[in-house]
Each structure stands twice: as C-alpha cells, then as structure tokens.
Amino acid sequence: METTMLTACSGYANDKRTFRYRPMTLEEAKSLPYGRLLHALAHNGVIRRVRANGAVKTWKRDASRIEVPLKYGMYEAFRDSSRNGKTMEYLIVLLDSAGQPTQSEEAATV
C-alpha cells in the first residue's frame, strides 16, 4: 500500500514534524469501535484527531460502501465514506519509521 509523507506544523510552536501515513482500509474502518480516537486529514492538509461517533454504516448491496460517523471538537461532526472501494476518503493511519501503524500519543498531538 502506498504511503505519503506530510510535514505538519504546530500552531503554537515554530517546529515542523514530518509524518508518514496511508489511507485507512475498509477492513480497518469496518472494525472500528465506538469512541476510538483516530486521525483524519483535513482539506487544508492538517492532521486532526477525531473520534468515532457511532456505528459504522454498511450496505448489503454494495459491500465496498461504508460510512463512519466522526466527531471533531465540541460541535463539529461529519461522516467519512469509502473513496474507491478500497480506502477511506479522510481517515488515515500514521506510520512509524519502520512502516508500522503507530499508537503513540506524541504523534497524535499535532
């Protein structure tokens, strides 16, 4: 699976950190529990911490079509859907230097 490099800037400091990420697969998205903290790539290229805000919606007629309800902040909520039948549109998985998914809180706070 292809990975992408992203340089993220903190709004409170003058440091720039580089992250590797890949789009979340449908299998990963279908197994998300309620309340799980995730990462999403916003339209302006900023990594946001979001929370799964409900059950993943699936369709019987089209197994590659799913929607994940997400919450960001106190009042913002949106749904992420499958883009091409293989990956999600906004949900990403941050990777460490070895290419494995990272679970560290340092990488989660951008």
User: CA-CA-CA-CA torsion for 81, 64, 36, 50, nearest 10 degrees?
Assistant: -20
What is the amino acid identity at position 82? S
- Please give the DSSP secondary-structure letter assigned to residue 99: S
CA 88 to mean position of chain CA atoms? 8
Distances (CA, A) of 91 to 13, 14, 48, 73: 25, 26, 10, 16
**pLDDT tens sequence across 45-72:** 778 889 999 999 998 898 888 999 999 8
Domain covering 4-11+29-98 in this structure, CATH number: 2.30.30
39's tokens: 């990462």
**pLDDT tens sequence across 74-99:** 888 888 888 788 888 888 888 877 77
Domain ranges of the chain: 4-11+29-98
Question: Do residues 24 and 32 make contact, with C-beta atoms less than 8 angstroms apart?
Answer: no
